[in-house]
Chains A and B, each alone.
Chain A
Amino acid sequence: MLLVLLSLVLLLASSMLALSLSRNPSRAQDAGAYGAVLASLCGLLPAGRVLFTGRTDTLSLPWPVPLGSLTFNLDPLAAFFLVPVFLLTGLSAVYGVDYLKSYAGRKPLGLAWAAFNTLTAAMVLVFTAANAVLFMLGWELMAAASFLLVLFEHEKAQARRAAFIYLTAGGTGALMLLAAFSLLGQASPSLDYSAFAPLTGHAASAVFLLALCGFGLKAGFIPLHVWLPEAHPAAPSQVSAVMSGIMIKTGVYGIIRVLGFLTPWQEWWGWTLLVLGAVSCLLGALFALAQHELKRVLAYSSIENVGIILMALGLGAVAAVNGAPVMAALAFAGALLHIFNHSLFKGLLFMGAGAVLHAAGTAELEALGGLGKRMPRTALFFLAGSAAACALPPFNGFAGEFLVYLGAFKSINYSGAPALAGVIAGLSLAAAGALAAAAFTRAAGAAFLGEPRTERAARTHEAGPLMLFAMGALALLCLLAGLAGPLLLLPLGSALASAFGLPAALEAVRASAIPLVYISAAGLLLLLLAGIAVARRRAFLGDKKPAAGLTWDCGYAAPSPRMQYGASSFAQPLTDFFQPVLRKIGQYPVISEYFPAKASFSTEAQAVFYNSVYLPVGARIRDLAFRFSWIQHGRLQIYIMYIVVTLIALLLWKL
Chain B
Amino acid sequence: MHTFAELTIVFIILMDLALAVTGSLSSCIRLVALQGVVAGVLPLLAGHGAPHLRAVAFAAVIISLKGVIFPWLLMRARDRSGAGKDVEPLISYPASIMLCLGAFIASSWLGSRLPLPEANVAWIVPASLATIFTGFLLITTRRKAITQVLGYLVIENGIYIFGLALFVEQPMMVELAILLDVFVAVFVMGIAIFHISREFDHIDTAELSELSDWRRGEYGK
Contact = CB atoms under 8 A, between A and B. Distances in A.
Interface of A: 626, 629-630, 632-638, 640-641, 644, 651-652, 655
B206 A633 contact: no
A635 B206 contact: yes
Contact of A632 (B148, B211, B212): B212
A634 B212 contact: yes
Contacts of B205: 635-637
Contacts of B136: 640-641, 644
B54 interface: no
Interface stretch (B23-31, B45-53, B175-183, B213-221): B213-221
Contacts of B140: 637-638, 640-641, 644
B208 A634 contact: yes
Chain B, interface size category, equals: 20 to 34
Interface in B140-162: 140-143, 148
Contacts of A638: 140
Contacts of A640: 136, 139-140
Q: In terms of DSSP, what is the predominant structure of the interface of chain A?
A: helix
A128 to B, nearest CB: 38
Contacts of B143: 637
Contacts, number: 48
Given A635-B206, A637-B90, A651-B110, A629 B214 contact: yes
Given A626-B220, A634-B214, A636-B209, 9 more contacts: A629-B214, A629-B220, A633-B212, A634-B211, A634-B212, A635-B205, A637-B205, A655-B110, A655-B113
Contacts of A652: 110
Q: Is the interface of B mostly helix, strand, loop or mixed?
A: helix
Contacts of B199: none
A653 to B, nearest CB: 12
A10 to B, nearest CB: 37
A635 B110 contact: no
Nearest to B142: A637
B7 interface: no
Interface in B165-221: 205-206, 208-212, 214, 216, 219-220
Contacts of A644: 136, 140
Contacts of B210: 634
Query: What are the nearest 7 A-B pairs in CB distance?
Result: A634-B212, A634-B209, A641-B140, A637-B140, A626-B220, A644-B136, A636-B205
A652 B148 CA distance: 25
Contacts of B216: 629-630
A217 B113 CA distance: 47
Nearest to B151: A640
10 contacts: A630-B216, A632-B214, A634-B209, A635-B208, A635-B209, A636-B205, A637-B90, A637-B141, A637-B142, A655-B114
A626 B215 CA distance: 11
Contacts of A651: 110
A620 to B, nearest CB: 14
Nearest to B135: A644
A635 B211 CA distance: 10
A584 B1 CA distance: 89
Contacts of B142: 637
